[in-house]
Chain A
Amino acid sequence: MSSPPDGTALSPDRTALSPDRTALSAPASSAVAGAPRARRTLRLRWRQQRGWLVWLKRLIGAIGVLWAAATLTFIVQQLMPGSPALTILSGGATKPTQAQIMAVDQTYGFNKPVIIQYLTFIGHLAQGNLGTSYLQHQAVSTIIAQQTWPTLELTIVSLVLSWIIAVVFTITTAKRGRPVSAIGSGIEIVAAGLPQYWLGIILLVAFAIELKWFPVEGGGGLSSLVLPSLTMAIPLAGFIGQVTRDEFAKVLDQPFITSARARGMGDTEVRLRHALRHAVLPGITLSGWALGSLFSSAVVVEAVFAREGLGQVLTNAVAGQDMPVVVGVTLLVALVYVVANLLVDAAYVLVDPEIRLA
């Protein structure tokens, strides 16, 4: 349990906390720990030279996460009580006979040893084969492919919309004196806490049923996209807003802001040209997570607005215990999440050139 008094014993742990942030925190933490300057520059140079190596490592890490996620879903399937053959045969009117069950076990390979089943599962996944639905007797990838676009459309529109709301809201209300800021952050907290199913219903009742501005059911076209994407965007904007507001307030106290003001720059310009760029950084980190979580809140929002999409597919599959479909959609979202986080890391470098890696 002995550790050097300068606290360096902690730093390997901290590195492990989030490998993708290591590059960011390393200069700051070594400065705090008072590490010798020479070592720091050496480390910086190493990083500049091996930038592509860092990205390669991240890519391998991402594939590792996906593989582990797939394994986890396989374990859950194995732990499932009852035989999947019964689910597959449940469509028939009569109680399945032993012969029928054995036949299904044979076709789907449920009678093979677990390790063989696992290797087949992973092997198929690597080729993009997600298996066959127990209930719809169709390839899972076909089912997913048919329903991906509506959900993707909804997710992307929501993400963009939430950024617009959050940024406009932050710029107008952050650091405008106590009452305005307090009301602004209060609204953000409430917005972030709103459950999508309820917000969706409120918007539906108010704008589709009472005011009749938008269609009640999400049949297609732009007007049917407004309410669902607002439903997803408002809570997310609350989260992003809370983070950007905090950064915004901090940045506005920085000396370079004072000097910009001293040069005679107007308040709006200071906010737009200088403060915003810094304030969106933590928000961008949030976007990787946000994309994944939007996909999963699409499950609820699609139910509220009776929209087609992956969410509906997932809800029905969960209710019918159609595991291949559940696993397929789940792994697709995991893939989106992992890829989005890789992209976020790349975007970070674009917004803040100081932390350029490659």
Chain B
Amino acid sequence: MTTIINQALDQASRPTGDGGRRGFRPGVTLSVLLIAFLVVAAIDPRLLTSQSPYAVNLAESFKSPALGHIFGTDQSGRDVYTRIIYGTRQSLLIGIGATAIAMGLAIFLGLLAGLSGRFVDGLVNRFLEVLFAFPGLLLALLFVAAFGLGASTEIIAVGIGSAPGYARMVRGQILAVKGSPYVEAARALGHPPNRIVRQHIFPNAMRPLVAMAAMGIGQSIVWASALSFLGLGVPPPAPEWGAMLDAGRNFVTQAWWLEVFPGLAIVTCALSVTTIGRYLRRRFEGETG
């Protein structure tokens, strides 16, 4: 699924719009600030809130957003803002972990396909095509069904679910670099194939992946939260964003803030990471092309 999405994003972000403009970018600056805030929250949440994410206070339950509780309180009187801040670490770790797994698998499959002969390439391609027949969350759900619920299954499931898209991209990238004039030049100069792969193909094919990985983290956070939202990820008492959404679902008619703010955290986080990723990619493209 990600390939097509990325193709769409690819097409959308290419020169037609603000392609190669440099200078001050309010969107990127804002994204960097937001991510910096979330990183602080992930490293030490106590710097940003004085309350406890687990402190139950029934007298304070279902308070709508006000000065004391800027995002309101939940059914047990726990502060929603505090829980979001404390949930940052787990949500970010799940996103990063899943992306790392996806990228690892993708690089392995992509290299295998791009550097081996036609037969292996065809085989890997067929395999990816089969994986694409399980769109979106399906592959992840299949995995969760087989291996049970929990944070680690969630990470692996999302990682496996998003790997095929990246694998296809890595493969395309390697083929493109393989056919580029400088690799041909290196070949004409008589450099051994090993050296060509190490010095030219690998580094140049991997460079755009840095930006892809950044965007992938955003996507992974969204997917992992979807699993938690369905009650198939991190179990409820943990202050994880998706799990908070799931827990607040039963109270949506009386306390909208239980759903709106954790969701807002997911969306702004994912959007910021994606914006930074797109910016990075544009920079890389500017340098190479």
A residues engaging B (CB < 8 A)? 1-3, 5, 7, 9-10, 12-14, 16-17, 64-66, 68-69, 72-73, 76-77, 79-81, 181-182, 185, 188-190, 192-198, 201-202, 204-205, 209, 216, 239, 242-243, 245-247, 249-250, 282, 285-286, 289, 292-293, 295-297, 299-300, 303-304, 314-315, 317-319, 321-323, 326-327, 330, 333-334, 337-338
A337 contacts across to B, CB distance below 8 A: 132-135
Instruction: Tell me if A319 and B147 are in contact (CB < 8 A).
Output: no
B284 at interface (Cβ–Cβ under 8 A)?
A: no
B184 contacts across to A, CB distance below 8 A: 3, 5
B141 contacts across to A, CB distance below 8 A: 299, 314, 318, 326, 330
Segment at the interface with A among B66-74, B85-93, B260-268: B260-268
Instruction: Tell me if B179 and A192 are in contact (CB < 8 A).
Output: no
B121 at interface (Cβ–Cβ under 8 A)?
A: yes
Beyond the given A69-B130, A286-B4, A286-B8, please list 16 additional residue pairs across the A-B interface where CB-CB is below 8 A: A10-B179, A17-B125, A72-B130, A193-B267, A195-B267, A239-B4, A243-B11, A245-B16, A250-B16, A282-B11, A285-B4, A299-B137, A318-B145, A323-B145, A330-B138, A337-B132
Main secondary structure of the interface of A (DSSP, over half): helix
B59 contacts across to A, CB distance below 8 A: none
B209 at interface (Cβ–Cβ under 8 A)?
A: no
Residue of A nearest to B14 (CB): A246
| Closest chain A CB from B202 CB (angstroms) | 15
Specify which of B133, B179, B218 is in contact with A69 (CB 8 Å cutoff).
B133
Interface CB pairs A-B, < 8 A, 25? A65-B133, A68-B130, A185-B12, A185-B17, A193-B270, A195-B266, A195-B267, A198-B267, A201-B263, A239-B5, A239-B8, A243-B8, A243-B11, A246-B12, A246-B14, A286-B4, A299-B137, A299-B230, A303-B249, A315-B231, A318-B144, A318-B230, A323-B145, A326-B141, A337-B135
B253 contacts across to A, CB distance below 8 A: 209, 216
B287 at interface (Cβ–Cβ under 8 A)?
A: no
**How distant is the Cα of A173 from the Cα of B131 in the complex, in angstroms?**
36
**How distant is the Cα of A279 from the Cα of B17 in the complex, in angstroms?**
17
Instruction: Tell me if A300 and B226 are in contact (CB < 8 A).
Output: yes
Instruction: Tell me if A333 and B145 are in contact (CB < 8 A).
Output: no
**How distant is the Cα of A147 from the Cα of B275 in the complex, in angstroms?**
39
Instruction: Tell me if B252 and A198 are in contact (CB < 8 A).
Output: no
Interface residue ranges of B116-171 to A (CB < 8 Å): 118, 121-122, 125-127, 129-138, 141-149
Residue of B nearest to A248 (CB): B16
B148 contacts across to A, CB distance below 8 A: 81, 321
Q: What number of B residues sit within 8 Å (CB to CB) of A?
A: 66
A250 contacts across to B, CB distance below 8 A: 16
B122 contacts across to A, CB distance below 8 A: 16
**How distant is the Cα of A65 from the Cα of B187 in the complex, in angstroms?**
37
Specify which of B127, B146, B187, B249 is in contact with A80 (CB 8 Å cutoff).
B146
| Closest chain A CB from B146 CB (angstroms) | 4
**How distant is the Cα of A154 from the Cα of B263 in the complex, in angstroms?**
23
**How distant is the Cα of A192 from the Cα of B96 in the complex, in angstroms?**
21
Instruction: Tell me if A205 and B259 are in contact (CB < 8 A).
Output: yes
B1 at interface (Cβ–Cβ under 8 A)?
A: yes
Instruction: Tell me if A205 and B121 are in contact (CB < 8 A).
Output: no
**How distant is the Cα of A192 from the Cα of B121 in the complex, in angstroms?**
32
B145 contacts across to A, CB distance below 8 A: 317-318, 321-323, 326
Instruction: Tell me if A202 and B130 are in contact (CB < 8 A).
Output: no
A321 contacts across to B, CB distance below 8 A: 145-146, 148
A300 contacts across to B, CB distance below 8 A: 137, 226, 229-230
Indicate whether A315 sits within 8 Å of B230 (C-beta atoms), given known contacts A69-B130, A185-B12, A333-B134. yes
